[in-house]
Amino acid sequence: MNIRSALFPGTLLLPTLLAAQTNYATRTGEISFFSSTPMEDITAVNRQVASVFAPATGAIEFSALIKAFAFEKAMMQEHFNENYMESNTFPKAIFKGKVHAAQGDDLAKAGEHAVTVAGDLTIHGITKQVTVQGVFSTSADGTLKARSEFQVKPEDYGIKVPGVVRNKIAEIISVKVQLAYKPL
């Protein structure tokens, strides 16, 4: 057996091994939230969310600057940053966790995959364990997208809402996450 024939099987496996080790990232992910009460609806969007995903381990992280949330009304944005989120003191929301696909489901295969994402969500300096449902979409060209929708109680993260505006801010906020990853 010469060296060429000994190395040939290894070269066939190399693309598979490299593909399995591909990690993904984005700096343009989107997180939005919606608060609805009979008095007022409030929506904010942040399109500067950074995230990394390592399919080999399922590890996923994202980070969102609080000041990057944009509101329809400037006054809402000011109150959000100064009075509620205290974004100078707590500048980021961070999630670190793992993606769990259904047993036997391969996220590398083209199609939509239901997943469970579990980990630690830190908002306003308080970290809580969360588990949410989501969807990973893999296209035939290897593009990877992730989305999830879940609910957050501001009081669970030490966010105090003054009584004077309590009826304008929902006790439970709906949060949507959308990420379009590119291979690193």
For residue 108, being part of any structural domain is answered with: yes
Q: What is the pTM of this model?
A: 0.85
- Count the domains in the chain: 1
DSSP state of 135: E
Question: Quick check: 80 and 46 in contact, CB under 8 A?
Answer: no
- Note the pLDDT tens digit of each residue in 115-140: 999 999 999 999 999 999 999 999 98
Average per-residue pLDDT in the chain? 88
9 assigned to some structural domain: no
Percent of the chain clearing pLDDT 70 (strictly above): 89
Give the pLDDT score at 8: 43
CATH number at residue 109: 2.40.128.110
- Nearest CA among 98, 46, 83 for reference residue 164: 83
CA 7 to chain centre: 41
Tokens of 181: 């990853």
Q: Is the distance from CB of 136 to CB of 113 less than 8 angstroms?
A: yes
Q: Which residue has the higher pLDDT, 162 or 183?
A: 183
- 19-75 confidence digits (pLDDT tens): 456 899 999 999 999 999 999 999 999 999 999 999 999 999 999 999 999 999 999
Is 105's pLDDT higher than 70?
yes
Which range marks the domain in which residue 179 is found? Answer: 23-183
Q: State residue 13's pLDDT score.
A: 42
Q: Give pLDDT, residue 21.
A: 62
In a domain, 127, yes or no: yes
